[in-house]
Amino acid sequence: GIQVEQSPPDLILQEGANSTLRCNFSDSVNNLQWFHQNPWGQLINLFYIPSGTKQNGRLSATTVATERYSLLYISSSQTTDSGVYFCAVDSGAGGFKTIFGAGTRLFVKA
Amino acid sequence: DSGVTQTPKHLITATGQRVTLRCSPRSGDLSVYWYQQSLDQGLQFLIQYYNGEERAKGNILERFSAQQFPDLHSELNLSSLELGDSALYFCASSGRANTGELFFGEGSRLTVL
């Protein structure tokens, strides 16, 4: 089945710093999403981005489907950005079956 | 608020017992997905239903079963519970635009003692 790799696995930032999270996938996908899991366990939709670039405030994402990767940019990080960022892709086999990467654990220091 | 409702939020039970987790999808969504997240682990896909029928199956144990009812709510049944079944169980729904975009509930945290 499709493999999803996220890097880096862990990231520590000083408040105000910028960062780039990467998601590589092993096969073509029908869609791709980025989620933030906050310290309370809630999964929050960030982007639905099968291709192209989107921006939402301090966050933006780019997916290059032909090269099988997606990037999540966080600018001017805040302590509330801490948590785990997941990339999830739909392989399209046997109906929708969204597979998650292992995540990037981000800690933003005040 | 994603619009997906899961109950109960927390559940503590003993090994060997059986529990039922419930999920109500967003209004208008036909697909329901179940995921398991063990401590410090990623999300493992368990099973997907679409309009009452099983659509895709992941690494779901035989001790686990699920169904989606005519009103589109879904239940995940976990039986003969083991310590290792302790996890956060998420339900997600999708379907309004048929894109596969998932919206997650807040999860049900199961602790097996």
pLDDT in tens, B40-89: 778 999 999 999 999 888 889 999 999 999 999 999 999 999 999 999 99
| List of chain A residues whose C-beta atoms are within 8 Å of the C-beta of residue B103 | 45
pLDDT at A28: 86
How many A/B residue pairs have CB atoms within 8 Å? 59
Query: Residue A64's pLDDT is what?
Result: 96
**Residue B94 sits at the chain A interface (C-beta within 8 Å):** yes
As a whole number, the mean pLDDT across chain A is: 93
Report DSSP letters for A44-106, one per residue.
EEEEE-SSEEEEETTEEEEEEGGGTEEEEEE-S--GGG-EEEEEEEE--TTS--EEE---EEE
Out of B50, B100, B107, whose CB is closest to A98? B100
Q: Over the stretch A73-85, which tens digit does the pLDDT of each residue have?
A: 999 999 999 999 9
pLDDT of A95 above 60: no
Q: In what order do the strands lie in the sheet with B19-24?
A: B5-7, B19-24, B74-78, B64-68
Residue A37 tokens, joined: 């899991």
List, for residues A1-22, the tens digit of each pLDDT value. 789 999 999 999 999 999 999 9
Q: What is the pLDDT of residue B95?
A: 74
